[in-house]
Structure 1
Amino acid sequence: MNVLIVNPDKVFLSALSPLLEKDGHNVSVACDMTAALQVLEQSPPGLVVMEREYLEQEGQPFFAKLGQDDGLPIILLTSGSQTGEGVKFAPAPKQHELERIEAIVARVKEATSDRRSETLRVGDLVIDFAKKQVSFGGRRIKLPPIQFRLLAHLALNVGRVVEYQELLWEVWGYQGENSEARELLKVHIRQVRRKLGWDAAKAEYLQAVRGFGYMLAEPEETD
């Protein structure tokens, strides 16, 4: 798989890249968003690995470009240390950095393994990630990109309550107040339920967990 790593830390890039290449991935690296956008245009990746903090600060053009590929997964990392202007990189990663890199490699393996199965089934709901298609009970359901991403993220976390702010970040790509996320999600959840013919009162498949978020449940879990 083509994997794009976006990180301003060149030592981090030089340590992580060979490990992913050893696992058979074609790795592209970018130290800034300009380089990352060039990679997206020239050699579209199947997976992106980048720091959450860096994406929040610099990532609007990147997210706009990603809007053309709604199924592209991103592994967002929590930064382990702060670096600023004038801070020199160490000549080699320290032990805690190596442990972090090993954990990232494991996450990439998990993500790319999941991608080998392009179809996800939850009861009568079938999501085809390759074709960006959804069907329920054998009937094709047309969903716009936002609602496809919303349903797909819930399906990838079936049986788990996904909180409002996590959905806001994963689907729309930005962080906001809990109340903003809740109100925005209400509109799209209502439309998804209507299109799939799910009864909100019976909590069919898609359950609202008041004050927290939403959960997609297997049919036997909806009683």
Structure 2
Amino acid sequence: MSADSVTILAVDDEAAILRFLKPFLEAEGYSFVPAGSGREAISLASSLDPDVILLDLGLPDLDGQEVIKSLPPWSRARVIVLSARGREQDKVAALDAGASDYLTKPFSLGELAARIRALLRRVERQEGAQAATLRFGELFIDLEGHEVTLEGREVHLTPIEFKLLAELARHAGKVVTHAQLLREVWGRHSQDQEHYVRIHVHKLRQKIEKDPARPRHLQTETGVGYRFKE
């Protein structure tokens, strides 16, 4: 996905933030659309169908989480939250509401640009033909055959370990919350069992990481969940 075909909707009630973001994102090649309120953001998201939404949570009319939940169901937009709220519960709530990533203010423009690029790579991979195999360096994941190889050698995973790894790898680069993992891997009845995730991530690291104490792929987002790093 080329930058000049990407539309970014930036939502913030502080005009200074929007003026700050506009020249930077346009210099990166993106089409920039500002919005100063939640309702304006929902309207623009419906009419323009942007690729990415940069969303502040503290809006004057609607909370940012309400905006995420109010996006049209057909919208292709991925949401990156840009918020001064740095508490773990705020991050978890926004990600569980449907945000793809979360950056706490103040943030560097370089990091924001990197997060946008990573998000667009994920979108491109997901919107293309669904690959039966995912590759991350020497790690191969065969989604159809339920097989994993590392440096050419098969890695023996239990069914739960494979489902967990596949779920994280499908969302590579994105923070996946404990609640999302429990829901997708163990089912909705397991929402209060966060220790399931910790135990099985530990087992996965022993099997696919060269140095499980300093994991390359399976990275912890403290208090929130995990991120599979490409």
TM-score (norm 2): 0.49
User: 1:48–1:75: 8 Å Cα contact kept in structure 2?
Assistant: yes
1:184-212 deviation per Cα after TM superposition (whole angstroms, max 9, x unaligned) = x5343125xxxxxxxxxxxxxxx7205x9
User: 1:6–1:33: 8 Å Cα contact kept in structure 2?
Assistant: yes
1:220 paired residue among 208, 217, 226: 208
User: 1:50–1:75: 8 Å Cα contact kept in structure 2?
Assistant: yes
Q: CA RMSD in A?
A: 4.5
Q: Cα offset for 1:67?
A: 4.1
Provide the C-alpha distance between the structure 1 equivalents of 2:52 and 2:25, rounded to a whole number of angstroms. 12
Residue type at the aligned position of 1:112:
I
Residue type at the aligned position of 2:114:
E
Provide the C-alpha distance between the structure 2 equivalents of 1:65 and 1:109, rounded to a whole number of angstroms. 23
Residue type at the aligned position of 2:11:
V
Q: 1:213 to 1:132 in 2, by over 3 A?
A: farther
Q: 1:219 to 1:39 in 2, by over 3 A?
A: farther
Q: 1:134 to 1:52 in 2, by over 3 A?
A: farther
For the residue of structure 2 that corresponds to 1:39, the secondary structure is helix
Q: 1:8 to 1:138 in 2, by over 3 A?
A: closer
Provide the C-alpha distance between the structure 1 equivalents of 2:49 and 2:24, rounded to a whole number of angstroms. 20
Provide the C-alpha distance between the structure 2 equivalents of 1:186 and 1:32, rounded to a whole number of angstroms. 33
Provide the C-alpha distance between the structure 2 equivalents of 1:153 and 1:64, rounded to a whole number of angstroms. 27
Q: Identity of counterpart residues, as a percentage?
A: 12
User: 2:12–2:36: 8 Å Cα contact kept in structure 1?
Assistant: yes
User: 2:49–2:77: 8 Å Cα contact kept in structure 1?
Assistant: no
User: 2:11–2:41: 8 Å Cα contact kept in structure 1?
Assistant: yes
2:185 paired residue among 182, 189, 195: 189
The equivalent of 1:106 in structure 2 is 110
| Total equivalences in the alignment | 153
Residue type at the aligned position of 1:130:
E
- Are residue 68 (structure 1) and residue 66 (structure 2) matched? no
- Are residue 117 (structure 1) and residue 121 (structure 2) matched? yes
In the alignment, structure 1 segments of 5+ residues that lack a partner are 81-98, 121-127, 142-146, 172-184, 192-206
1:14-163 mapped onto 2 (5 Å cutoff): 14-54=19-59, 57-65=63-71, 67-69=73-75, 72-79=77-84, 100=106, 103=108, 105-115=109-119, 117-118=121-122, 128-131=125-128, 133=130, 135=132, 137=142, 139=144, 151=167, 155-157=171-173
Provide the C-alpha distance between the structure 2 equivalents of 1:189 and 1:37, rounded to a whole number of angstroms. 31
In the alignment, structure 2 segments of 5+ residues that lack a partner are 1-5, 86-104, 134-141, 147-162, 188-195, 213-230
TM-score (norm 1): 0.50
Q: 1:19 to 1:186 in 2, by over 3 A?
A: closer
